[in-house]
Amino acid sequence: MTMRHFICMLVLLGAPRVLAQSGGGEAHAPAEDAFALRLGLSARPLIGLSGVSAIRTHTLRDGGWVVADVAPSYRLSRLFAAELGLSAMVPVKDAWGFPDFRLAVTPAARLDAGPVYARIGVPLMFGEGFSLGAQAAVGATLFDRFYVGVIGEANVRDLLGMVGLELGVRFGGPKPRI
């Protein structure tokens, strides 16, 4: 990771606080803690070009990653939160020549509508070179803290995508409102 990437991460971590404090001269005390931490685990089989064949769906036996996420978040409003995820991507099998461990930093925006959530982010992957992608997840929060959802990720440079199940728990922050 270069110094430029490190500075960008620091700016992204501080941006939600600046946005929240830029409400002018309004004085209001937050009723709940705005900071939270998300710990997640997902299995993402690959979908992509296999040699010169057409796009086909694969299982984890064909290739993919098991991903562990740590994502601090800051609640910007009742519905929106900003996240900065750090993901360790462990390969299950060398499907298309991408066998190495990858590390991803993902700035994301999350919409919480009661127990249902949607998250959109831009993963910055480090490993076998730097690559940029797009990520989206939808799911539901169970028992106030646990969540389960479907996550999809696309990487244009490597011509691959991943779709899988994500499970996790959130610590701190407000409880979802129904």
DSSP states along 26-43: -----SS--EEEEEEEEE
Classify residue 122: in a domain, yes or no.
yes
The CATH number of the domain holding residue 131 is 2.40.160.20
Classify residue 99: in a domain, yes or no.
yes
Which own/partner pairs from 139-145 qualify as long-range (CB within 8 Å, at least 24 positions apart)?
Answer: 139/166, 140/115, 140/116, 141/112, 141/115, 141/116, 141/117, 141/170, 141/176, 142/115, 144/175, 144/176, 145/169, 145/170, 145/171, 145/175
d(CA 81, CA 77): 7
Amino acid at position 142, single letter: L
Classify residue 116: in a domain, yes or no.
yes
Classify residue 157: in a domain, yes or no.
yes
**Parallel, antiparallel, or unpaired for β 131-142 and 160-172?**
unpaired
Classify residue 177: in a domain, yes or no.
no
User: What's the pLDDT at 53?
Assistant: 46
Amino acid at position 43, single letter: A
User: What's the pLDDT at 136?
Assistant: 95
CA distances from 96 to 44, 67, 76, 135, 145 (A): 15, 18, 40, 20, 36
Classify residue 29: in a domain, yes or no.
no
Per residue of the chain (178 residues), give pLDDT as tens. Answer: 565 655 555 455 555 554 455 554 444 444 567 899 999 999 887 765 544 445 555 556 667 778 999 999 999 998 999 999 999 988 876 555 555 778 889 999 999 888 999 999 998 888 767 788 899 999 999 988 899 999 988 877 766 778 889 999 998 876 655 5
Classify residue 178: in a domain, yes or no.
no
Total domains, the chain:
1
Q: In which domain, by residue range, is 45 found?
A: 3-21+35-172
